[in-house]
Each structure stands twice: as C-alpha cells, then as structure tokens.
Amino acid sequence: MICSQIILLTFLLLSAIPASERKNSLNLMPMPEKVEFLQGEFRLDSTFTVSVTGGNEVLLNKAVLRILKRLTDRTGLFLLNLSPRIGLDDNIHGMLINSKSPGKNELEMDESYSLIIKSEEISLTAQTDVGILRGLETFLQLVDADQQGYFFPAIKIEDKPRFKWRGLLMDVCRHFMPVEVLKRNLDAMAAVKMNVFHWHLTEDQGFRIECKTYPKLHELGSDGFYYTQQEIKEIVSYAGERGIRVVPEFDLPGHATSWLVGYPKLASAPGPYSIERNWGIFDPTFDPTKEETYEFLEKFFQEMAPLFPDKFWHIGGDENKGHQWDANPEIQKFMKANNLTDNHALQNYFNIRLEKILNKLDKTMVGWYTDAQPNLDKKYVIQSWKGRNSLYESARNGYRCLLSHGFYIDLIQSTEYHYLNDPIPQDSILAEDVQNRILGGEATMWAEFVGPETVDSRIWPRTAAIAERLWSPGTVNDLKEMYRRLDEIDFRLEELGLTHNKNYDMMLRRLAGNADIDALKTFVDVIEPQYTYARDHPHVFKSYYPLTRVVDAARPDPRTARKFDQLVDSLIIHSGKNHSEMDALKGWLNRWKDNHSKLSEIIKKSPILKEIEIQSQNLSRCAVIGLQILEHIKKGIKPDETWINNQSEIIKNAQIPKGETELLVANSLEKLLNEVKSSDSRLFKP
C-alpha cells in the first residue's frame, strides 16, 4: 500500500513538471528529434533480457552484448541472461528489438529508430540495423538511479539525424596513432551517433598504409609506423559493426613528400626526397603531366580499393602552391600546349584524370575546397574548410558539400564556438535544393600537436557537441543546457576507454616529478593551449619534438575556467546582489591567490615547469585583483580610475601567452573590471 502511494505521488509530482523541464533533466547527447514522457518507469534487475528479431543476427548480437557489458559495468548488476535471445519473446522482463532489414552502411542509410520504454517492457524498432545501433546508444544514456536502484524513465522517442554525414577526421600522419587509439575513438563516435571516420593516411610527414604493389611507399615513407593491410581491414570491420563508414584520404597532388621518398621520378622536381620533419605547406608535388603518374596511381588505387568498401574516396587536393610546377619548363610547356592557363587549371586537369580512375573502381571522389570551383562530375563532394560562404557557393554550383570550417578541433576553440557553427542556420535563406546538397560536416583532428597520449583530450568532449549539431534539430541550441549534458557525457565516455580525463592527472604527476599535483592542477585547470596556428613562436616545431609539456597536458575549454566565467556573468547580471555567487567567486579567488607560493616549490624541482612560472604568478596577481573588485562591490564603493587602470595593465600582461598557454581567468576578470569601470555599471546601483 505504501509503495503504491509513493509511486502515485511520484507520478503526480512528475506530471506537474512542464515537459520542457523534464526533457532538460535527460542526459542525452545528441538530443533526439522527438521526446514524449510516459507514466512510470522501467526498473532494472538481474532478470533483464533482450530479444532480437530481424536484421543481421551476428551484427545485432555483438551490438547488444557491447551495450549490456557497458550497462552491467555501470550498474554492477549480475544479469541472468547476458546473451540476447533470437526471435520474438513477449514473456521477458526486458527489451524487444526489431530491425526491419539489415540495410547497407552507406550515405543514404536509414538511421531512424523508435524507442518506447514502459514500466513493463522496452521496445526498440528501426528500419535498419544501423537505426538499432543508434537507438541502443540512446537507451544506454537513459539509465538512471535512485535509492531503490537503477531504472529507465518511461518515455517515447522518435529520432532520426538531421544530416547524413557526421564525421571525424583523424590525421595519423603527422603523429602516428596506434590501432587501439583509433578503436576507442570509433567507440566514442558510435556513442554520439557519428557515422563517418575520415582516415587521413598520407602526408608530407608520413605514409601510413602498407602497399604491396609499391612497397617503398611504406618502407621508406613511414619511419616504420604504418598500418598493415590486415590492420586496415580490422579497423574498417570494427567501424562497420558500429554503423561507421571509413573514408580514406590519400592526399594529392601536394602534401606528397612521403610518396616521393621512394618514388622521386613522379615528382615535379628532381629528388632525392626525405620525410618532412617540420610543419607547414611544402613544395613537393606530383607531376600531373606524366602518364607514368597516372599509371602509378591507378595501380595503387586498385590495390587500396578493396580495403575500403565505402563508395567515397578522398583525394585531398588542397594547399598546393604550385612552386615546382612554375619552375619546371616541361610542365609549363605542357600547360601551354593544352591551354591550361594557370595552376588551378592544371590541378583541375589532374583531378579529372583521377576521377576517371576512381570511377572505374566505383568510387566517388571527395576533395578539400580550393580557391577555384572544380570542373568535375557533380557527384564530386567538396569539403569546405574556408567557411560557410564557400560551402554555399559549391552547393549552388551543383556540388554536394561538407562543412569542416568551424569544426577544426585541433585549433583549441571553445565548445560553444563549435556548437553554434550550424551548416544551415535557422535563419538560412538557401533554396531547398541547395540545402539538400549540404550533406553534413566533419570535425577535423590534425595532428601537429597531438600524440596517442593527448589526442583524446583534443577530440573529446567537444566533438560530442559537434555530433549533436549534426544530428539534432537546429532548434536544439541552448548553450547552458548543452554544457549541462556535455559534462555528463564527458564522464560516460570514459567507460569506452578514452583517456581525455584519465591521462590528465598522469601527465601532471610526470611534470611535477611525482610530487603532490594539487597546486599544479589548480593552475592547469584554468589555462588552455594557445590557438594552434600561433604555436610556432618562439619554437619552430618539428615532428619529433616532445608532447609532454604543460601545454600538452592543458585541455581546451577547461571546465573550471568556463564555470568561473559563467559565475562572473551571473554576478554582473544580478548586479552583485546574489550572495552565493559572490561566495563562490571568493572561494576560487582565494585558492588561486595562494596557489603560486605552493606551485613555486614544485617548479624549483622540476625544470620542465619553468616556462609557466610567470603565468602561475599572474594567476595569483589576478586573483588578488578579483578579490579587491568583489570587496568594492560588497561595500558599494566604486574604485578610482587610477586603481582601475593599474589593475587593467596587470590583467593585460596576464593575457599574454606563456609556455604556449593562455590564462583564461584573466579574460573573465577583465570583463568584471570593465563592468566596474563602466559609468552605468549595474554593480554600483542601489
């Protein structure tokens, strides 16, 4: 009797909560298209069983086992029936899965699903197996807990993606990424419903795939770091089981140094060539006037094509300055004879030749946006890295397109910046046919400044927000709500083996020489790596330089700095009248004020930390300023202009990067100081 009263009371309380607020209590990312709350909840216990009908039995069995393993690891439950049952079984306490067809893992695949959770059963249905995979991830994100145990809220979800192409590029050339790194990131991609792994396999700094037809490619162009063809097949299969397509990129005609180390005769200038150790854009380029070039590439593509079953094939095609072409008399003669007026025209000629080769292999070519629109078959897909204007230009010209500008996660930009970077904003006036050519987008993880130890921290959790931008309706764009859910997803991604949080403390311990890392962590929690394109000062980086410094341990968009900044904003909005905000800010500032004296003792014993000593001092100085500002606000006494100007100089000095890191707290305090300085400041009004 008492139990039924509690259930009734709970239902009445939940019913009184507006649907929008109940939706905002869910920790789902990406947020589904449609969510409807039902009465009750499904209680999880050891009798939980999954029944599967339709689809590819082997694929779905593996998927269910993966989900149940994560579910039991999270809850500690000993399930009596871990293996899914095959065929419809209504007499179970658990989930009924029905896939209408295996479907094909391709661009046009149907990823929609319907998930209905009632107190007595759970049903997951989809047109294809891939839809089931997407629904299983949503199902796992819904598990919740209270004093009685674990449960799923009663709910009905109808969901499908907004964009067909939701990708992550990983550059494994500038710094090689072992197979286990790729697998854990594929698991994370699947968890947030991303569906394309763009594998950047060739670059000036390394050729990363075994080639049996031309073995000098990997033997001389890789420093011994490459994937065997068996490993390639393993990754493609692993991705496919998770509903992820693998699109390889073999960068041509530029970014080609590693190709030419073993085969210099294909270059536009005489060799010899050696693997590039620097970062940047370099001259070595294929000679597009030699028939030998196309014979070589055709045989290479013929060998590679069976390894990558996806229809799409990326040829790179960007950042060719054409210096070798300009300096080669034979190439200039060829251009004149064929009425090729400039290097854009010559590269277009090269691309058309590649397109014919790839067409014979039933592959559709993808390439980076260049400064001139191509003259290729309209099947060609253009990946835009120069902005939405170039994206729209290509779409209007009849090409299918992908957006990567604004999703360059290697640049250390904020989650907010990426999240609000919508390929088709809500106020877009693009014609419907133009919008339909925008397939989606890709986050790009270029690897100049990451290695296996740090790459996860640059991809996650920000890429989960990008995944939502490409999956969820455009109306799902509330930043505060996004960050709330992201903090939960960030934590949950760890169960997939990601090291974005785990390696943080480990790197700090190494930097501190195994001393207590509390002071170091307090400092690094409020800095972030400098914007990547600015990191070549004062160093000129090389591929073998260490990735073990403070800048490498520091993370993009650090949570502590973000929450401090949100507190500053809230204090200003509330005119300094909210005592809890004032107390929270004081707590942080007092901690930072005293931190340098503690950290300096560690710096004395660990020379690798010397480069951030000034920045550590700046944190303490800025904290003192912050406390003084809060004291003025509390007393209602506006500081004089001389004091404000003096503190402004200190803060501006603190904003200058040190050790290739930026002190984010300085930006927040500058905002607060500017508000204090303002003649109509809300902070000093009665």
- Which of helix, strand or coil describes residue 169? strand
CB–CB of 454/438 below 8 Å?
Answer: no
How high is the pLDDT of residue 11? 44
Average pLDDT of the chain is: 94
Residue 611 has pLDDT above 60, yes or no: yes
Give the CA angle between residues 163, 169, 174 to the nearest 5°: 170
CB–CB of 517/508 below 8 Å?
Answer: yes
Q: For 250-296, how does the pLDDT look when each residue is reduced to its tens digit (9 = 90+)? A: 999 999 999 999 999 999 999 999 999 999 999 999 999 999 999 99
The torsion angle over the Cα atoms of residues 643, 647, 650 and 651, rounded to 10 degrees, is -160
Residue 15 has pLDDT above 80, yes or no: no
CB–CB of 512/606 below 8 Å?
Answer: yes
How high is the pLDDT of residue 6? 42
Total H helices, total E strands in the chain: 27, 20
Residue 522 has pLDDT above 50, yes or no: yes
Residue at 110: amino acid letter: D
Beta-carbon-side half-sphere exposure of residue 596 (alpha carbons within 13 Å):
16
Please identify every residue annotated as catalytic. Answer: 319
Residue 454 has pLDDT above 50, yes or no: yes
Percent of the chain residues topping a pLDDT of 70: 95
Q: What is the DSSP string of 575-599?
A: TT--HHHHHHHHHHHHHHHTHHHHH
CB–CB of 667/673 below 8 Å?
Answer: no
How far, in Å, CA of 382 to CA of 235, rounded?
25
How high is the pLDDT of residue 21? 54
Residue in the block written with tokens 């694929």:
59
Read off the pTM. Answer: 0.95
3-state secondary structure 209-261: ECCCCCCHHHHHHCCCCCECHHHHHHHHHHHHCCCCEEEEEEEECCCCHHHHH
Q: For residue 16, what pLDDT band results from cuts at 50, 70 and 90?
A: very low
- Which of helix, strand or coil describes residue 440? strand
Residue 227 has pLDDT above 90, yes or no: yes
CB–CB of 175/543 below 8 Å?
Answer: yes
Annotated domain spans of the chain = 25-159, 165-498, 503-684
CB–CB of 592/622 below 8 Å?
Answer: yes
How high is the pLDDT of residue 109? 96
Q: Say if 25-159 and 165-498 have the same CATH topology.
A: no
Percent of the chain residues topping a pLDDT of 90: 89
How far, in Å, CA of 571 to CA of 683, rounded?
8
How high is the pLDDT of residue 169? 98
- Which of helix, strand or coil describes residue 364? strand
More confident residue, 535 or 483: 483
CB atoms under 10 Å from CB of 160, counted, come to 17
How far, in Å, CA of 315 to CA of 353, rounded?
12
Residue 488 has pLDDT above 80, yes or no: yes
Buried-state track 85-115, b at ≥16 Cβ within 10 A, e below 16: beeeeeebbbbbbbbbebbebebebbbbbbb
Please state which architecture CATH assigns to domain 25-159: 2-Layer Sandwich (3.30)
Q: For 384-393, how does the pLDDT look when each residue is reduced to its tens digit (9 = 90+)? A: 998 899 999 9
The pLDDT of 676-684, averaged and rounded, is 86
How high is the pLDDT of residue 656? 95
Give the closest residue to 270 by CA, choosing from 354, 318, 207, 330: 330
Counting other chains too, the contacts that 301-305 makes at CB distance below 8 Å and 24 or more residues apart are 301/357, 301/358, 301/361, 301/363, 302/213, 302/361, 303/211, 303/212, 303/213, 304/209, 304/211, 304/248, 304/250, 305/361, 305/363
CA 548, 551, 552, 555 torsion-angle sign: positive
DSSP 80: S
Give the closest residue to 178 by CA, choosing from 231, 220, 250: 231
Burial class (CB in 10 A: 0-12, 13-18, 19+), 76: exposed
User: Fold for domain 165-498?
Assistant: TIM Barrel (3.20.20)
How high is the pLDDT of residue 535? 81
Residue 230 has pLDDT above 80, yes or no: yes
Q: For 333-345, how does the pLDDT look when each residue is reduced to its tens digit (9 = 90+)? A: 999 999 999 999 9
Q: For residue 7, what pLDDT band results from cuts at 50, 70 and 90?
A: very low
How far, in Å, CA of 364 to CA of 109, rounded?
17
How far, in Å, CA of 286 to CA of 531, rounded?
32
